[in-house]
Structure 1
Amino acid sequence: MNQPTSENVIDVTDLWRRYGTGEHGFDAVRGVSFTVGRGELFALLGTNGAGKTSTIELLEGHARPSRGAIRLFGAYDPLRDRARIRPRTGVMLQEGGFPGDLTVAETVRMWASCTTRPRPVDEAIAMTGLMPRSGTLVKNLSGGEKCRLNLTLAVLGSPELLFLDEPTAGMDPEGRRETWDLIRELQSQDTTIVLTTHYLEEAERLADHLAIMHRGRITASGTTADIVSSHPSSLFFGLPAGLTDADLPPLGATSVRMTGGTVHLTTEDLQFTATQALMWAREGGISLAGLHARSASLEEAFMHIAKADTSEDVLT
């Protein structure tokens, strides 16, 4: 029988997940929908208690949705069709729970014996930079090294779909960048990747598109540029003694405040506001000290969403 084919490796439609029943029940995931195309890296971000982990568990086939549907590789249900899906997927957990008295090489060898068509053990270990520690007991690894071991096991079977849960937690900056390079290499080999991370820079650098969850719903989605564009940019500069923000002309800013001699403007049109400020300064012979302009960041967009007061809908 031929395998189903689809441009999308993941199709999620109106996904709900409820814990408990009756008036004591709680909807952790509330009508979530998204798709992930073949070879894409999709980052799922979320505030505390947003439902991100509950969503990922449904994608990985650990539970059945309360409502809605998930289709992987075109037509497969993660729970019902686990036997078809599992050989094609890799999952990296934050904590692998491996025996501490085995070495890195022994752990990977043990995992390879349970994996369909595994890579050679040494190749997998080398991919994640653990070869110098291959003879080290797992219990003697640092937190970052254990994270690398978890990643080694996740990619051991050359998965078509890879779930990465906090892949660089505990790593030093060098290890983090090496892991990013590995993730990009896997993606270049047409691996589809779902990433969850608390490092917003990681999502910003790696993701083709992303979604931010808050209180069970996706409140923003698209590319980083798409999400950031809906938030105001900032312009900072210092004024000479004797001038305050009250002396400024209309600059098209959405807000103006002055702290310690520095003016902070927020604006929906950074080019216009910056141009108006520079023209005003030139015409008045005024020096704008420490002039700095920047677009909104993913972190600012995330924090704005985190502070939002979203209604507590329930599943009926």
Structure 2
Amino acid sequence: MLCRNFLLLRSVVGDKEVFEGFAILSSCCEGRMEEGAIMEERVIEVAGLAHSFGRVWALKSLTFHICPGEQVALLGPNGAGKTTLVNILGGFLRPTRGRVRVLGVETDRLGPSQRAQMGFVFQERPGLYPDLTVGETLDLFRGYYRNPVSTALLLEALGLTDKVRRFVRHLSGGERRRLELAVALVGRPRLLFLDEPTANLDPEGRRWVWERVETLAGEGVTVLLTTHYLSEAERLGRRILLLREGALLFDGSPQDMVARAGLPHHIRFHLPGGALPPDLAPRARAQGEGWVLQSHAPLEDLERLRQWGAEVFQVQGPSLEEAYLTLMREERHGLSPEPSA
């Protein structure tokens, strides 16, 4: 209760709508955290995972693990193997090779106890019944769990209280996504799979979902997110798993991914005297009334520019999107047509 009271206090002095929702979601998670105070060291453990559809290998020798409370963004172009991986982790598909454990159990042996601790929001696997109302939908799914979150709390937390009697078929895209998230949270999950959670949402709806996911992660829920929005991955993913052609190309923080791409910073500046330092001139180009310098050592170059009397007005680092595109264009080292035996 301490966490909930703190958040309610914050709602008085901060953004009221956001923090009130945070307080409700905090209470939703309390039961699960008390139930599983001693958690497995690894929520997901993957070793040598490979999967084929006929002669085509969708996944090739993946090895990684995810610890409790991590926020992981799974990135990659279409056909990289993201959906196949999520289906295997969720226990919907048996892997061709390798070992996959979720919540301490092999995925082909997941039982009701483990599934009750998992929540899913799928983009292409609708789980709502169009002829039920919002309230009836939540009551239906609550019946599958021993200690579900109350319908009233979910409605308030997900901003659906005034839609409780509306039929699902009459909901907007953003309202449906809120209801799908509510269904995923009804069982107090420790592990949440989000497949393109903000696809087809407007910017306001996208930020609303981001705030709720951040709240859940702050309460210790492990989140695995797939997205094509690099800004979403940068905000919600404390760690990136980057797939290409079924192989794990990168595993690390967004900052490390940007560093791995080796892209330069851009320093924009004015030079009153007009003459560039000779050692910087080859990397600078004129832009409007000023200059832009490409720099792989921005601190050193900034000092050099200041010594030369330059007026620096912007330093821009490479974005996660630029790093993603660069890594996608890299030569495909080690990507074999099929995993080794």
Which residue type is aligned with residue 318 of structure 2? A
Shift of residue 258, structure 1, vs aligned partner: 5.0
Shift of residue 242, structure 1, vs aligned partner: 11
* Residues 1:266 and 2:294 are matched in the alignment: yes
* Residues 1:176 and 2:206 are matched in the alignment: yes
* Residues 1:313 and 2:341 are matched in the alignment: no
1:42, 1:209 within 8 Å by CA — same for their partners in 2?
Answer: yes
Instruction: Map residues 84-103 of structure 1 onto 2, 5 A cutoff.
Output: 84-95=113-124, 96-103=126-133
Whole-angstrom distance in 1 between the partners of 2:287 and 2:56: 44
CA separation of 1:252 and 1:184: change in aligned 2, threshold 3 A: farther
1:236, 1:262 within 8 Å by CA — same for their partners in 2?
Answer: no
Whole-angstrom distance in 2 between the partners of 1:270 and 1:252: 15
* Residues 1:237 and 2:268 are matched in the alignment: yes
Which residue type is aligned with residue 87 of structure 2? E
Whole-angstrom distance in 2 between the partners of 1:105 and 1:219: 43
Whole-angstrom distance in 1 between the partners of 2:311 and 2:188: 59
* Residues 1:121 and 2:143 are matched in the alignment: no
Shift of residue 215, structure 1, vs aligned partner: 1.6
1:43, 1:210 within 8 Å by CA — same for their partners in 2?
Answer: yes
1:234, 1:266 within 8 Å by CA — same for their partners in 2?
Answer: yes
Hey, what does 2:314 align to over in structure 1? 292
CA separation of 1:260 and 1:309: change in aligned 2, threshold 3 A: farther
CA separation of 1:270 and 1:124: change in aligned 2, threshold 3 A: same
Whole-angstrom distance in 2 between the partners of 1:233 and 1:309: 19
Shift of residue 100, structure 1, vs aligned partner: 1.9
Whole-angstrom distance in 2 between the partners of 1:26 and 1:257: 47
Whole-angstrom distance in 2 between the partners of 1:78 and 1:4: 21
Partner SS state of residue 79, structure 1: helix
1:10, 1:72 within 8 Å by CA — same for their partners in 2?
Answer: yes
Whole-angstrom distance in 1 between the partners of 2:285 and 2:64: 39
Give the alignment partner of residue 61 of structure 2, picking from 16, 26, 31.
Answer: 31
Partner SS state of residue 266, structure 2: strand
Whole-angstrom distance in 2 between the partners of 1:303 and 1:240: 33
CA separation of 1:50 and 1:242: change in aligned 2, threshold 3 A: farther
Give the alignment partner of residue 203 of structure 1, picking from 222, 227, 233.
Answer: 233
CA separation of 1:276 and 1:242: change in aligned 2, threshold 3 A: closer
Give per-residue Cα distances to partners, 1:71-118, cap 9 Å, x unaligned: 1123x1112234442111111112425232221111222222234432
Shift of residue 164, structure 1, vs aligned partner: 1.0
Give per-residue Cα distances to partners, 1:135-185, cap 9 Å, x unaligned: 212112111111111111111100111111122223333333332222222
CA separation of 1:233 and 1:99: change in aligned 2, threshold 3 A: same
Give TM-score scaled by structure 2 length.
0.79
**RMSD of aligned alpha carbons:** 2.8
Instruction: Provide structure 1 residue ranges, at least 5 long, that are not aligned to the other structure.
Output: none
Shift of residue 222, structure 1, vs aligned partner: 1.0
Whole-angstrom distance in 2 between the partners of 1:160 and 1:193: 9
CA separation of 1:266 and 1:9: change in aligned 2, threshold 3 A: same
Hey, what does 2:47 align to over in structure 1? 13
Hey, what does 1:275 align to over in structure 2? 303
Whole-angstrom distance in 1 between the partners of 2:188 and 2:143: 14
Whole-angstrom distance in 1 between the partners of 2:185 and 2:160: 14
Instruction: Provide structure 2 residue ranges, at least 5 long, that are not aligned to the other structure.
Output: 1-35
Give per-residue Cα distances to partners, 1:195-240, cap 9 Å, x unaligned: 1122222221222212111121221221112112233232243667
**Size of the alignment, in residue pairs?**
301
1:17, 1:67 within 8 Å by CA — same for their partners in 2?
Answer: yes
Whole-angstrom distance in 1 between the partners of 2:40 and 2:281: 47
Whole-angstrom distance in 2 between the partners of 1:251 and 1:219: 34
Give TM-score scaled by structure 1 length.
0.84
Whole-angstrom distance in 2 between the partners of 1:206 and 1:222: 14
Instruction: Give % identity.
Output: 33
Instruction: Map residues 106-145 of structure 1 onto 2, 5 A cutoff.
Output: 106-145=136-175
Hey, what does 1:189 align to over in structure 2? 219
1:236, 1:293 within 8 Å by CA — same for their partners in 2?
Answer: yes
Whole-angstrom distance in 2 between the partners of 1:293 and 1:134: 49
Hey, what does 1:160 align to over in structure 2? 190
Select the structure that is richer in helix: 2
Partner SS state of residue 8, structure 1: coil
Give the alignment partner of residue 325 of structure 2, picking from 291, 295, 303.
Answer: 303
Whole-angstrom distance in 2 between the partners of 1:32 and 1:260: 48
Give per-residue Cα distances to partners, 1:224-264, cap 9 Å, x unaligned: 121122332322436679969xx5522398x5555667644
